[in-house]
Chains A and B, each alone.
Chain A
Amino acid sequence: MLAQQILNGLISGAIYALFALGFNLIFGVQKVLNLAHGAIFMSGAFIAYYAVEGGLPFWLALLIAMVVCGIASVLIDRFGFQKLRKYSQMDAEFGALVISIGIGQILTSMAQKLSQTKVLSFPFDTFPVEFFRGLGMRISLLQITIAAMVVVLVVFLALFLQRTTFGRQVRAVAINPRASALLGINARSVFMLTFFIAGAMAALAGVMIGLSFNSIQFMMGEPYMLKAFVVVVLGGLGNLGGAVAASLLLGVGQALCAAYLPPGLSDILIFTTLFVVLIFKPNGLFGGALAPAGVGRQ
């Protein structure tokens, strides 16, 4: 029972990681909280659903959803956040919040219209339903696929950021955009790339959530936005490794809360933890003393 709960928690934590990594990547590079991320996530699930309904194979639908959401994210950046750069920092910070809220509203109300406020679900045989048993636990093929995909993606992202030239450019821009521009880095292409990766990962997370809970609806982004805040703060804003660890922690914690505590208590615990961590360790649980703080006003 306990082992099964931990396993389930790890799987849902892996999906949180997919969602939160993109959100965190955008914050790390651009220093904006992209509140439209939840809507992008929802759009991914919708696009994949309609593509599957239209007769496309599942893998192609997933690919289309990822590409379309990636491009949508890039467009939000190009025609939203980039336009705010010419204003003072505080105006830009507030403006980015409202712009992303506005875009989120546009996307969710379009999705609402499209689905006529109904809960959609993928056709039954979209993904083979198979279960494996062992060690007293039960795991579905879908869960194994999700876990494998998240591991592969996280490893690729880490290699990309640490080992490739483009990844080094991304990290340089995250630390200091002006200095990296002086060194000849094209910040605009870095922003485009990070937004594309974030959008594509959000879409992937949306499709996976839609598959594993068998429900897709226009408001599905909001609870994940709130969870992303928790993950991002526990792991440290802009700290990608911390975000993965925090996602898994949150997933397991939530599964255990759901299993052993009275219902309703888990949200109180989670958000109280978030508040307390912010007060005492604002760099996140895994941020050392040397982690870039940015807590105070620069």
Chain B
Amino acid sequence: MIDFLKANQPVFDFFLLTLGFAYSQQIVLRCGVFSLASAAFAALGAYCCAILVVNLGLPPLMAIPLGAVLGGAAGYLVSVPLARLRGVYQAIATLALVEVVVAITLYAEPLTGGAVGFNNIPKHVGTVEIALAVAVVIYLLHALSISRIGRGFDALRQDEYVAASLGVSSRGQHTLAFIVSGLIGGLFGGLQSMYAYSVEPHQYGFSFMVTTLAAIILGGRRSLLGPVIGSAVVILLPEISRPLAEYRMVVVGVVMVLVVLYTPQGLGDTFLSWLSHRRASKQAPPPAKPLAADARTTKSKGDTYGRA
């Protein structure tokens, strides 16, 4: 096990970074905001950190939190106009935002190095630091999700009008989710720039968005376990299927399609709801027939996110 981890350490580090970005993506989806802006936050965090450390000589321990704060501030700013939009429109607006950030980093060559990327960043961050950051983020998100705020997020995702009628402020909660998403995105962007020696604009473009979004939808939008499973599938599957050589990306695509077709809630969330159903049926075994009927309805409807 240890040998395996050592041999695959770069893959594992990359998995941890992707996990961080996936949490940044999940927190907005969790409260029903279809934002793809995590890529922009990550880019801001990464470039801010790299510029502070290389050009201004700040210690990384100060630069990384500043990168996170910049991400959070961007999250707040973005949330103000985006409060007017919902659903697919939010997705396209944030996609535009990500493209603007990529285009600006390409254009501002004196500061960011343009298309060549920002190179020669000293390496300050290893596996331990990234793992620590992931642990802290998971703990904070767990604390958030069992608090009143987390319940508010869940209510908003399931039905915004009902949540509003119960006294959940959709504006306030959406803003909060954007800020948290920005903080996490900026933090891991900063960590990535301190880890990888160089930062490059297209790293935080369309494919970044696709990867994190796929990780969340494969894993699940609700539980903290979801992103772990999703990122593992997205990052490790191409590595595991390496013997298939050039066909491995085909395999990844096929797995994505099949997972979504058969477990649209995501692997992690489906697994957790299966566990809790099992536990519930063990504690109080109801008569067999109603249970079967019940199981069927929950399977077809799941967590009724609908807007019906």
Contact = CB atoms under 8 A, between A and B. Distances in A.
A joins B in a complex: yes
Interface of A: 31, 33, 35, 80, 83-84, 86-95, 97-99, 101-106, 108-110, 112-113, 222, 225-226, 229-230, 232-233, 237, 264-265, 267-268, 271-272, 274-275, 278-279, 282, 294-298
Given A105-B249, A226-B206, A92 B264 contact: yes
Given A84-B264, A102-B252, A272-B96, 19 more contacts: A84-B260, A87-B300, A87-B302, A88-B301, A88-B308, A95-B217, A98-B218, A98-B260, A101-B213, A105-B250, A108-B249, A267-B99, A271-B96, A271-B100, A279-B81, A282-B84, A282-B89, A296-B86, A297-B161
Contact of B85 (A35, A102, A225, A278): A278
Interface residues of B, number: 56
A254 to B, nearest CB: 13
Contact of B253 (A84, A109, A230, A295): A109
Contacts of A35: 210
Nearest to B258: A102
A297 B85 contact: no
Q: Which 10 A-B pairs have the closest CB atoms?
A: A102-B256, A109-B249, A106-B253, A90-B305, A105-B253, A267-B103, A91-B264, A88-B306, A274-B96, A264-B107
A95 B92 contact: no
B282 interface: no
A141 to B, nearest CB: 34
Interface of B: 29, 32, 81-82, 84-89, 91-93, 95-97, 99-100, 102-104, 106-107, 157, 160-161, 206, 210, 213-214, 217-218, 221, 246-247, 249-250, 252-257, 260-261, 264-265, 300-308
Given A80-B257, A88-B306, A271-B99, A297 B264 contact: no
Contacts of A31: 88
A271 B205 CA distance: 13
A109 B256 contact: no
Nearest to B221: A94
Contacts of B214: 98, 101-102
Contacts of A268: 100, 103-104, 107
B111 to A, nearest CB: 13
A237 B89 CA distance: 9
A298 B213 CA distance: 23
Nearest to A272: B100
Contacts of B210: 35, 101
Contacts of A233: 92, 96
Q: Max chain B CB contacts within 10 Å: which of A112, A226, A278, A298?
A: A278
A271 B105 CA distance: 14
Nearest to B252: A105
A102 B107 CA distance: 31
A33 B96 contact: no
A229 B87 contact: no
24 contacts: A33-B88, A84-B260, A84-B264, A87-B302, A88-B308, A90-B307, A92-B264, A94-B29, A94-B217, A94-B264, A98-B214, A98-B256, A103-B257, A104-B253, A106-B254, A106-B257, A109-B247, A109-B250, A225-B206, A226-B99, A233-B96, A267-B103, A274-B93, A275-B81
Contacts of B304: 88
Contacts of A298: 307
B79 to A, nearest CB: 12
Contact of A98 (B32, B92, B217, B305): B217
Nearest to B306: A88
Contacts of A93: 87-88
A260 B269 CA distance: 52
A288 B32 CA distance: 28
A108 B247 CA distance: 11
A97 B91 CA distance: 11
Contact of A295 (B85, B160, B218): B85
A108 to B, nearest CB: 8
B305 A89 contact: yes
